[in-house]
Structure 1
Amino acid sequence: MMKKHQNRILILGVSLLLGGIFLTNCAPQEQRSPEEIAAIQRAKRDSIRKANYNRCLFKMSNADQYKIQENWPAAIRNYKDVIELGCVEDFADPLFKDLAHCYFRNNQPDSAAWAIEEGLIYKPTDLHLLKLMAYYNRNNLDKTIEAWTRINNLYPGNTEYMFELADLYFKAGHYDEQIALLEEILQIEPDNKKAELSIIAAYEAKGVDPIELYAKNFETDKSNPQYAYQYAQRLIDSNNYVKAVTVLEEALKYNASNKSLIEMLAESYVNTGQQDKAVLVYEDLAQKNPTDNELLIKISSLYREMGQYQKALQFADRAVKIPPHNGKAMAERGEVYLAIAQANTVSLNLNDKLVYHMAYEDFKEALKQGNNNVRSKINFLESNELIITGQRDYFLATDANKVGPNEFRPVGEGYAWITRTVKVQ
């Protein structure tokens, strides 16, 4: 009797245990935490993926073959099978890019755009996908702006991408957003002409004269180099160099070492007939930038135009020794020698021809360095017989002209300071 009673108790205990387990497994989903639910769902997806992986691999291979054959419907069908089989995470790249391509070639642009949007769920920072989003939505301005905004957020400071977005803002009439973005570009690249012109276009599209705004900004904060640059550049663009000089002189009180503002001031001095001031500005800048041969060329050119040939030649000589050796500096030195000869020639003689020949040698070297602009100078000197061609040109040389065998230097008023010589064959 006791044994029978014990058996009943054992059976009851086992029943209660099994019942508890059953009730636990059958607990309503709402009793589980979101984390538990997500974990169960993820486990199910992973299980399906693993089970279907080989089938998906086969479908992807089929789809790729159909794509090569340009059988777009068959390729699309196989790519969609991969999605339905739950293998998206394994094949997200290139699944959605290729699916979008097939939809597009099958004249289904909206479906192509959808495929890219789906791909971005799995690859939200994929640059190629984001560019494809912009491409496949190019008739949807809002979506295109969204794509380029996301790209700019991923790659801050990339001016190429910033211009893409700025152009879209202009098309959409979002001028304030465009201007703000273009001003960011100018903070990165202060001399970017495209950004400057685009800002002007945006203000004009808004019905605002940008020069008024630039003037207001500058008067509000004269120490801001960007405000000064924008205002002065607009004044220069409108040929108001006199006002530009005033603005730049004031701005440089606060930004004395700003190279862009200094060069603009020198340019404005030149265009208001103040070459003497311009050359001093350039010389000061050249002292701070001794390897900038463009500056040295400008200084030489200004002194040459002012008739101060010795100073012009000093700076030209310095310029030809500094890279890049692209023929610009050599051409400038040739112009200096040409100007010296032309200023001193009354009745053409050997001394004149020796200096003309120095110009000729420099122009020939400039051409060799790649500067094709000097061809007309070379032709001019040759056609007018202003160069030394043989004994008939130097048989009247004086002892003062002779430096060595077949080597001569110019002498006389206007040439005595020149130390260069000419060797003839």
Structure 2
Amino acid sequence: MTRIRKWQLLSILLVFLIFGVYNCVPPQAQANSDEINAMKEQKKEEILNKCKFRLSNGRQYMIQQAWADALRNYHEIISAGCAENFIDPLYKDMAQCYMKLGKPDSAAYFIDQGLSYDATNQHLLQLSSYYKERAGDYEGAVAIYQQYNALYLDDVEYLAKQANALDMLGLYDEELDIWEYIIDIDTENNDAINAIISVLGKMGRDPKAFYEKAWQNNTADASKALKYINALINDNDYKTAINVIRQTLQFNTQNITLIKKLAECYEYDAQPKEGLKVLENYARSNPRDINMQVDVTLKNVEFGNYEKAYNIISNAVKIAPQNKEVYFARAKVLEALAEITTLTKGKIDCNDKIVYHMAYEDYKKSKELGNFNAQFRIKYLYDNDLTIAKAKDRFLIGDANKVNANTYKPLGDSYSWITRTVSVK
């Protein structure tokens, strides 16, 4: 019994020993495996560095306009298996080199190779469509534009490119759909408006009749109305356009695009004052539409309504005191007023300079709020001694203009309505 038990124990021990032999990696073997992996990583790094060097070389050759030499370096990168590491610069530069060598087909091919690695790369998609068009492959270009426009929504520039490519293929129905979509995004896009009229002509349709029918089916639809209005304007039929807008505005009283179109049509129809009234009515009922306040202000300046313009824009300043455009617009009102007054008199006096200085202050405020263009007006007024910023310009100001030692007000019929003063240290 004891002998049997000993044999059993020996058998179990033998099994454990065998299991240990098969499952233990000798230290030397483990070390060899780590060394091999390290060598592989080192080799990868060496190849990548060589590819970086080739990429740099290629760019240097491109600067020297040695297109074939640049391509030789770029092809070596692909052969080395590094292309995926340099997708955008590599394939973009290869395409440019092939274009310089007069090989647009090859340029398009390698851009597509880049897209095979990164199908949503915006830059490569743009280049792919460009090179396909250069190669005369408009069908291929349309396919890329469709892909691009599905990824990057409402990019009007590339929607227009797609429409133009469709035009080259004579696919006018599809082209028309895209131009109309662009109009929905950008209602005042003149390129799209003109293109629609052109396409309808190619399709043998009268733009006016086509859009009139669509609008008459639903006169409350502002989008349909705008397309019809654009066709009418193109045909110089402003009176009909005015009637269409007025009908549609009954259902879309606050549609700013329709309102601007109505004012525009009145101007085309030699009724500019009616156009101004339209804009003023909207501005009064929408005082927080600062862009419209600015537009109406500048329109009144064109009509010589300086006091009205000043009051409108001053109210806008109160509503939006941090808006750079309102100060710029008010400065333009004051500058225009001072300019017309001096031209009428044939000379400039201290009253004019005080008003110019008010404009100068508003331009400075506009600049402080980020209006880069204001600095040019500031410099112009200061350099031409049109303000009272310099001590010599204040020397001849009379007591009647002085509110106190450093504060001044303008006098004279042209400025009688101005209650504002300026203070200069």
RMSD, aligned CA: 4.9
Task: Report the CA distance shift for 1:80/1:405 in structure 2 as closer, same or farther (over 3 A).
Answer: closer
Counterpart position of 2:210: 213
272, 281, 295: which one aligns with 2:292: 295
Of all paired residues, the percent bearing the same amino acid is 25
Counterpart position of 2:190: 193
Matched, 1:174 2:171: yes
The aligned amino acid for 1:360 is Y
Where do 1:24-423 residues align within 5 Å? 69=57, 72=71, 76=75, 79=78, 94=86, 98=90, 105=97, 110=105, 113-114=108-109, 117=112, 124-127=119-122, 129-137=124-132, 138-139=134-135, 140-206=137-203, 208=205, 210-236=207-233, 240-272=237-269, 274=271, 277-301=274-298, 310-320=307-317, 322=320, 323-325=323-325, 327-336=328-337, 356-365=352-361, 368=364, 369=367, 370-371=373-374, 389=393, 394=398, 397=400, 403-405=403-405, 417-421=417-421
Task: For residue 335 of structure 1, report the CA deviation from its aligned partner.
Answer: 3.1
In 2, Cα distance between the equivalents of 1:415 and 1:135?
59
The aligned amino acid for 2:360 is K
Whether the aligned pair in 2 keeps the contact of 1:355 and 1:410 (CA below 8 Å) is yes
In 2, Cα distance between the equivalents of 1:112 and 1:54?
34
Task: For residue 229 of structure 1, report the CA deviation from its aligned partner.
Answer: 1.9
In 2, Cα distance between the equivalents of 1:122 and 1:412?
74
In 2, Cα distance between the equivalents of 1:304 and 1:114?
57
Task: Report the CA distance shift for 1:424/1:391 in structure 2 as closer, same or farther (over 3 A).
Answer: farther
Matched residue SS, 2:420 = coil
Task: Report the CA distance shift for 1:287/1:392 in structure 2 as closer, same or farther (over 3 A).
Answer: closer
Task: For residue 93 of structure 1, report the CA deviation from its aligned partner.
Answer: 6.0
Task: For residue 159 of structure 1, report the CA deviation from its aligned partner.
Answer: 2.7
The aligned amino acid for 1:134 is S
In 2, Cα distance between the equivalents of 1:408 and 1:78?
74
Counterpart position of 1:14: none
Matched residue SS, 2:197 = helix
Unaligned runs of 5+ in 1: 1-51, 83-89, 383-387
TM-score (structure 2 length as normaliser): 0.62
In 2, Cα distance between the equivalents of 1:423 and 1:68?
61
Task: For residue 169 of structure 1, report the CA deviation from its aligned partner.
Answer: 1.8
In 2, Cα distance between the equivalents of 1:255 and 1:375?
45
Task: For residue 364 of structure 1, report the CA deviation from its aligned partner.
Answer: 3.4
Residue-pair matches, total: 354
Whether the aligned pair in 1 keeps the contact of 2:55 and 2:74 (CA below 8 Å) is yes
Deviations 1:263-301 (A, max 9, x none): 222333355465664444333422454344442244345
The aligned amino acid for 2:151 is L
Whether the aligned pair in 2 keeps the contact of 1:293 and 1:329 (CA below 8 Å) is no
Whether the aligned pair in 2 keeps the contact of 1:116 and 1:129 (CA below 8 Å) is yes
Q: Which has the larger radius of gyration?
A: 1
Greater displacement, 413-422 / 226-235: 413-422
Task: Report the CA distance shift for 1:292/1:150 in structure 2 as closer, same or farther (over 3 A).
Answer: same
Greater displacement, 100-109 / 191-200: 100-109
TM-score (structure 1 length as normaliser): 0.62
The aligned amino acid for 2:324 is P
Counterpart position of 1:28: none
Task: Report the CA distance shift for 1:333/1:415 in structure 2 as closer, same or farther (over 3 A).
Answer: closer
Task: For residue 197 of structure 1, report the CA deviation from its aligned partner.
Answer: 3.3
The aligned amino acid for 1:188 is I
Task: For residue 408 of structure 1, report the CA deviation from its aligned partner.
Answer: 5.8
Whether the aligned pair in 2 keeps the contact of 1:59 and 1:79 (CA below 8 Å) is no
The aligned amino acid for 2:129 is A
Unaligned runs of 5+ in 2: 1-39, 59-68, 368-372, 387-391
Whether the aligned pair in 1 keeps the contact of 2:77 and 2:83 (CA below 8 Å) is no
In 2, Cα distance between the equivalents of 1:412 and 1:330?
19
Task: Report the CA distance shift for 1:242/1:374 in structure 2 as closer, same or farther (over 3 A).
Answer: farther
Whether the aligned pair in 2 keeps the contact of 1:134 and 1:144 (CA below 8 Å) is yes
Task: For residue 315 of structure 1, report the CA deviation from its aligned partner.
Answer: 1.1
Task: Report the CA distance shift for 1:235/1:367 in structure 2 as closer, same or farther (over 3 A).
Answer: farther
Greater displacement, 176-185 / 308-317: 308-317
In 2, Cα distance between the equivalents of 1:341 and 1:105?
61
Whether the aligned pair in 2 keeps the contact of 1:225 and 1:255 (CA below 8 Å) is yes
Greater displacement, 407-416 / 281-290: 407-416
In 2, Cα distance between the equivalents of 1:422 and 1:75?
67
Task: Report the CA distance shift for 1:209/1:403 in structure 2 as closer, same or farther (over 3 A).
Answer: same
Task: Report the CA distance shift for 1:409/1:158 in structure 2 as closer, same or farther (over 3 A).
Answer: closer
Task: Report the CA distance shift for 1:378/1:318 in structure 2 as closer, same or farther (over 3 A).
Answer: farther
In 1, Cα distance between the equivalents of 2:277 and 2:359?
28
Task: Report the CA distance shift for 1:78/1:216 in structure 2 as closer, same or farther (over 3 A).
Answer: same
